[in-house]
Amino acid sequence: MAGNALIPEPFGPLQGVRILSTGTLIAEPFAAELAAEMGAEVIQVERVGTGDRAWREFGPMLPPRPGLAPVSTTWAQERRNMFCVTLDPTTPRGREIFLELAARVEIWMENSKACTWDKWGLDDRTVLGVNPRLVITHISGFGQDGAPEFRSRPSYDYIGQALGGIMDQTGFPDPNPPTRAAPWLGDYIAALFALWSSLAGLTYARATGRGQAIDLAQYEALHRLLGGTMVEYFELGMVRHRSGNKARDFQPGDTFRCRDGWIAVAALAGEPFDNLLHAVGLDPDDERWQRARTAVDSADGLEFDRRLREWIAGFEISEAVRRLNEMKVACAPVLDARGMAEHPQYRARGVHVEWEDLTAGRIRGIGVVPRFSLTPGRIFRGAVPVGYDNRRVYGDILGLDDNEIERLRRDRVI
């Protein structure tokens, strides 16, 4: 890692990796923050003056410390461990500073409309010219090329889910409307694709000394999740549509109502399914009921579903979950925030942790996922105010003195 380290103490599997993150809202910054939780040093660039205002103010808001602006709950959860600076790369001096930062990192990730950075003189060729080993990851709604009319179109999570095919398979059949997968699945899935592809590019760059640009279209990341959907269409002429919560290829695979709420149940062939047949008063040795497992919409399949729902409806959630687990049937309550906070498995694994947010103080939320046995991730600090790390990053990493940093601030370059 070129220049002085910003992280107080190295940790995690990504220690020694420095990432320049220039995205807003969800997809790209979330990818960078996941890396930061695993020890990467992430420099997050925000707009001069306001920062990433849309996401910083995405409510509900936490009460701030005296003299500081309120912070949103989502910002507090998703901007931990990041070193936040402000910069206007559209100005000549801002462009120079951006290139100086790009020369000192291994990965640059951004999300914007196609070729936005080209307009500011920061196209891939120029940026790779100052750092040939750099991995550049572009996240956009529709990709960096393709049909010309898409390059300038805006896109958000809803649009990616619709175009990518997820929305048409989420929800219940017509006449019910298509349903978005919450919360902001399109952005979070794009973030995961961005992070793994960036790290794949970094592996290649470290081995060969050659960086490259990655073109990630959000709708394509979502499209990649559709399993055999497109093979079914191209080879069999089949079109999948919404089918609600019920699995289309086997049963049970659905949500079921208990006296006091909902549970999810899934059981494949063998002993678990036979146990369910016993429970609802059907003979496991009768071939009709074995066929009903995969013939979901047949008369026998519907009869099994009816009996199972009737049986489960007679129990409260805790009793239904206990009985089904004794039968070796996979099941779980459908949890809300209170249920997750109080659930024994969440508590036993320490999923929810406390950390210090520099704006809101001591808060509690989701910890670092997943766990590494030798190089665990860590939260060494929470989210910070706009421009909090300007002096540290521009001073320690780029070597600018206090007078120059103050001049850049007055000129609204930073």
The pLDDT-based confidence of 69 (bands split at 50, 70, 90) is: confident
The pLDDT-based confidence of 268 (bands split at 50, 70, 90) is: confident
Work out the end-to-end distance of the chain between its first and last CA atoms, rounded to an integer number of angstroms. Answer: 23
The pLDDT-based confidence of 3 (bands split at 50, 70, 90) is: low
Q: How much is the pLDDT for 62?
A: 92
Please, what is the Cα angle at 88 between 87 and 92, to 5 degrees?
120
Taking the domains of the chain in order of start, what are their residue ranges?
A: 18-224+351-410, 253-328
Q: How much is the pLDDT for 73?
A: 95
If you write DSSP's letter for every residue of 94-109 in order, what string do you get? Answer: HHHHHHHHHTT-SEEE
**126: amino acid identity, one letter:** T
* pLDDT at residue 81 greater than cutoff 70: yes
Q: How much is the pLDDT for 377?
A: 98
Of 115, 113, 109, the C-alpha closest to 202 is 109
**CA torsion 160→163→164→169, rounded to 10°?**
110
Q: What is the mean pLDDT of residues 228-255?
A: 93
Q: How much is the pLDDT for 63?
A: 87
If you write DSSP's letter for every residue of 349-366 in order, what string do you get? Answer: HT-EEEEEETTTEEEEEE
Report the DSSP pairing between strands 61-62 and 71-72.
Answer: antiparallel
% pLDDT > 90, the chain: 89
Report the distance separating Cα 179 and Cα 174, nearest Å: 11
Mean pLDDT over all residues of the chain?
94
Tokens (6 digits) for 290: 């074995």
Say if residues 223 and 164 touch (Cβ distance below 8 Å).
Answer: yes
In this prediction the pTM is 0.93
Q: How far is CA 141 from the centre of its chain?
A: 15
Tokens (6 digits) for 187: 């952005």
DSSP state of 144: S
DSSP state of 172: P
Q: What is the mean pLDDT of residues 266-289?
A: 90
Q: How much is the pLDDT for 288?
A: 93
User: In the CATH scheme, what is the code of domain 18-224+351-410?
Assistant: 3.40.50.10540
Go through 334-351 and write b for each residue having 16 or more CB atoms within 10 A of its CB, e for each that does not.
Answer: ebeeeeeeebeeeeeeeb
Q: How much is the pLDDT for 2?
A: 58
Q: Give the residue ranges of DSSP H helices in 107-217.
A: 124-130, 157-164, 185-208
For the beta sheet containing 253-258, the strands, ordered from the edge strand earlier in sequence to the opposite edge, are 253-258, 261-266, 330-333
Of 380, 375, 379, 372, the C-alpha closest to 12 is 375
CA dist 193 → 11, 165, 188 (Å) = 23, 17, 9
